[in-house]
A and B are shown apart, each in its own frame.
Chain A
Amino acid sequence: MKIISETLILVKRSLIRYTRVPQLLVFSTIQPVMFVILFAYVFGGAIKTSINYVDYLLPGILVQTTLFGAMMTGIGLADDISHGMIDRFRSLPMSRGAVLAGRTISDLLRNVFVIFLMVGVGYIIGYRFEGTFMGALGALFLMLLFGFAFSWISALIGIAVKDVETAQSAGFIWVFPLAFISSIFVPVEGMPKIFRLFAENSPITYTVDAVRRFSVNQPVDYTFWASIIWLAAILITFIPLAVRQFRKIS
């Protein structure tokens, strides 16, 4: 399978970039660390949750980190387009899908690193994972699938706008409200009706709630499956859209 080896070559390229430019990783983790600290110490006292707020917050922050990290996919592709790298790849006898798969998969691997780092930060401020080892794997799997699915949305945006700055702002315009109108930081029960309706059905809320249940050692329930269905639907929709948009680049 040519596409697999091509994808691996491009994954290797991205990983080398992360080791050479560690700032890329460091800066992408400063923001979530700030969020953890602000919410845990500033807003935390005012937010009522069924469990200790830090234990409530951290699974949300992990999902938020992978969500914001997914935005890097589109930014990276836009960067490659504006620097002619994508034209070079397109002039080679290689699969079109490999360019996109190489990018989304390397972002997935980066997410593994960032998730472990954020769990470490969580442990410093008192978070504890109380679930089983299998629960930890389940949570990790769900978060990576989540990040991977949103990477493809981000890829579509990056290819469509073709410019780093635009990809940056176009990425966060929709991600920011999506992140806040969810159960990442606060329980949805306190939200006005329309927001609550939106939040309750958001793939973010389902994913965060499922990860939270793994974290406090509660059995898997509908939130896990609803999250999987959402993410599968996103992948089925956005992979073809991103590939189609990629073919349309000229």
Chain B
Amino acid sequence: MNSDLIQYIQEAKVSGMSDGEIQAELLSVGWNHGDVRHAFLDNISPELENPPIEQSEKIEAVVSVRGLIKHYGSVRAVDGIDFEIPKGSILALLGPNGAGKTTLVRMLGTLITPDSGQALIGGHDVIKSPDDVRKIIGLTGQFSAVDMVLTGRENLVMIGRLCHLSKLEAENRARELLIRFGLSDAADRQVKTYSGGMMRRLDVAASIIAHPEVLFLDEPTTGLDPHGRIELWHIIKELVAKDVTVLLTTQYLDEADHLADQIVVIDKGKIIAKGTSQELKAQVGGDVLELHLTDHSQAHRAAAAIEALGIEKPRIEELEAHIFMPVRGGASVLADAIRRLDQARIDLADIVLRRPTLDDVFLKLTGHVAG
């Protein structure tokens, strides 16, 4: 990235300018806004790599959820959930479709009322004082809630005004967010001409226009291309760096792994695991031996050949001719496995010994594959 630009931004920040002011100035002296935005993201990422550890001594829970339950008929969509989110951190709610993620987010966002339990957002009870909760939250639902006929700018100004910003405040804030989210070129185009990624960014921008303390994002990257996902990840990290507390739901294990300080895995409305991504991976224990075969008809023979080496039975994904098996014992297991497969005359495309991913964790916890 451009180091001049980064240095300039750092100096400007030290001098007390806001991000919006710095960006506006850079753009006005002729910098390309893509470069400016990336410089910003690069500039803030170093501090993100090292989350402030001293905070853990005195955790201030901004979101606190106790025994939350919601029924739909006889189905318990959310069945007694507890967690806390410290200020300025990200909690990822991970689970397959129908696990109860959306129901939980909608309860915390005051869109539906819990049947029992308690949820406090910034100290306000979602059941007793939803209006106070609404003043400090931003909510981005699963589908982009923006008006397709209005322009990006009109959408943001409208939401800002509905959050009781003055006309001038709303306009300034809209301009600032459009620049920050890389939408300034498209600001005065109707939203229906936007790509999926642009719409999603506008949606998130609308959710944070009134500087919420807590942001709920329901599957923010579902349906985005890889580029769009990474852009949104940057935006989320940037917000958390500014002390916004984020709860996001996702079906993507790598997303939770990449973004979250804390992961809560839910299935069928219940929490089945909680912890950092490291802690969750430790639950699988050991490493994972992964085989890719050239011929999927050999899968069962290959599994039988290596079964004795594992701490659990191998899992076969037959269509893709993949075999996964948790193992203990490091590199010697790998050598052993190759020998046995060779003796059984299995044609290998690839074999790796790797640290477990959240996919492995999920499978271990639920007995089924996520998604």
A89 contact from B112, B113, B137, B162, Cβ within 8 A? B162
What are the interface flags for A63-98 relative to B under an 8 Å C-beta threshold, 1 for contact and 0 otherwise? 000000000000000000001110111111110000
Residues of A within 8 A of B347 (CB): none
B-binding segment of A16-24, A37-45, A136-144, A179-187: A16-24
Let me know if B164 and A93 touch, CB within 8 A. Answer: yes
Q: How far is the CA of A250 from the CA of B112 in the complex (A)?
A: 5
User: Chain A nearest CB: distance from B111 CB in Å?
Assistant: 6
Smallest CB-CB separation from A84: which chain B residue?
Answer: B145
B side interface size, CB within 8 A: 31
Q: Determine whether A6 belongs to the interface, using a CB cutoff of 8 Å to chain B.
A: yes
Let me know if B159 and A92 touch, CB within 8 A. Answer: yes
Q: How far is the CA of A83 from the CA of B148 in the complex (A)?
A: 10
A13 contact from B109, B139, B142, B158, Cβ within 8 A? B158
Smallest CB-CB separation from B110: which chain A residue?
Answer: A91
Chain A binding surface SS class: helix
Interface residues of B in 72-110 (CB under 8 A from A): 106, 109-110
CB within 8 Å for A93 and B131 given contacts A13-B158, A88-B159: yes
Let me know if A250 and B141 touch, CB within 8 A. Answer: no
A-B contact count, CB below 8 Å? 69
Q: Determine whether B186 belongs to the interface, using a CB cutoff of 8 Å to chain A.
A: no
Residues of B within 8 A of A89 (CB): 162
Let me know if A92 and B134 touch, CB within 8 A. Answer: yes
B149 contact from A2, A21, A90, Cβ within 8 A? A21
Interface residues of B in 142-178 (CB under 8 A from A): 142-150, 154, 158-159, 161-164
User: Chain A nearest CB: distance from B181 CB in Å?
Assistant: 17
What are the interface flags for A1-38 relative to B under an 8 Å C-beta threshold, 1 for contact and 0 otherwise? 01001100110110011001100000000000000000
Residues of A within 8 A of B143 (CB): 83-84
Smallest CB-CB separation from B107: which chain A residue?
Answer: A250
Q: How far is the CA of A94 from the CA of B161 in the complex (A)?
A: 10
Q: How far is the CA of A56 from the CA of B208 in the complex (A)?
A: 56
B147 contact from A5, A6, A17, A87, Cβ within 8 A? A17
Interface residues of B in 103-137 (CB under 8 A from A): 106, 109-113, 131, 134-135, 137
Residues of B within 8 A of A90 (CB): 110-111
Interface residues of B in 187-241 (CB under 8 A from A): 190, 206
Let me know if B139 and A91 touch, CB within 8 A. Answer: yes
User: Chain B nearest CB: distance from A249 CB in Å?
Assistant: 8
CB within 8 Å for A85 and B147 given contacts A91-B134, A93-B131: yes
Let me know if B158 and A9 touch, CB within 8 A. Answer: yes
B145 contact from A6, A13, A87, A250, Cβ within 8 A? A87
B161 contact from A9, A16, A83, Cβ within 8 A? A9
A side interface size, CB within 8 A: 23
User: Chain B nearest CB: distance from A141 CB in Å?
Assistant: 30
User: Chain A nearest CB: distance from B152 CB in Å?
Assistant: 13
User: Chain A nearest CB: distance from B246 CB in Å?
Assistant: 15
Q: How far is the CA of A10 from the CA of B161 in the complex (A)?
A: 10
Let me know if A250 and B149 touch, CB within 8 A. Answer: no
Q: How far is the CA of A16 from the CA of B135 in the complex (A)?
A: 27
What are the interface flags for A48-66 relative to B under an 8 Å C-beta threshold, 1 for contact and 0 otherwise? 0000000000000000000
Residues of A within 8 A of B147 (CB): 13, 17, 85
Smallest CB-CB separation from A13: which chain B residue?
Answer: B158
Let me know if B134 and A13 touch, CB within 8 A. Answer: no
Q: How far is the CA of A20 from the CA of B206 in the complex (A)?
A: 21
Q: How far is the CA of A94 from the CA of B111 in the complex (A)?
A: 13
Residues of A within 8 A of B154 (CB): 13, 16
User: Chain B nearest CB: distance from A20 CB in Å?
Assistant: 5
Q: How far is the CA of A2 from the CA of B138 in the complex (A)?
A: 20
User: Chain B nearest CB: distance from A5 CB in Å?
Assistant: 8
Smallest CB-CB separation from A17: which chain B residue?
Answer: B149
Q: How far is the CA of A12 from the CA of B161 in the complex (A)?
A: 12
Let me know if B163 and A93 touch, CB within 8 A. Answer: yes
User: Chain A nearest CB: distance from B191 CB in Å?
Assistant: 11
Residues of B within 8 A of A85 (CB): 145-147
Let me know if B190 and A20 touch, CB within 8 A. Answer: yes
Let me know if B131 and A13 touch, CB within 8 A. Answer: no
Q: How far is the CA of A227 from the CA of B135 in the complex (A)?
A: 43
Let me know if A6 and B149 touch, CB within 8 A. Answer: no
Q: How far is the CA of A88 from the CA of B137 in the complex (A)?
A: 11
Residues of B within 8 A of A5 (CB): 161
Residues of B within 8 A of A92 (CB): 134, 159, 162-163
User: Chain A nearest CB: distance from B355 CB in Å?
Assistant: 38
Let me know if A91 and B111 touch, CB within 8 A. Answer: yes
Let me know if B134 and A93 touch, CB within 8 A. Answer: yes
With a 10 A CB-CB cut-off, give which of B113, B134, B141, B162 has the most chain A CB atoms. Answer: B162
Q: How far is the CA of A29 from the CA of B111 in the complex (A)?
A: 37
User: Chain A nearest CB: distance from B74 CB in Å?
Assistant: 17
Residues of A within 8 A of B109 (CB): 91
Residues of A within 8 A of B145 (CB): 83-85, 87-88
Let me know if A16 and B162 touch, CB within 8 A. Answer: no
Give the 6 A-B residue pairs with the shortest CB-CB distance, closest first. A84-B145, A88-B145, A91-B139, A93-B134, A250-B112, A93-B135
A-B contact list, 16 entries, CB within 8 Å: A9-B161, A16-B154, A20-B190, A83-B145, A84-B143, A87-B139, A89-B162, A90-B110, A91-B110, A91-B134, A91-B139, A93-B135, A93-B163, A93-B164, A94-B162, A94-B164
The interface of chain A, by Cβ under 8 A from chain B, is 2, 5-6, 9-10, 12-13, 16-17, 20-21, 83-85, 87-94, 250
Q: A17-B150, A93-B135, A250-B111 are in contact. List 4 more A-B contacts (CB 8 A).
A: A10-B162, A13-B147, A93-B131, A250-B112
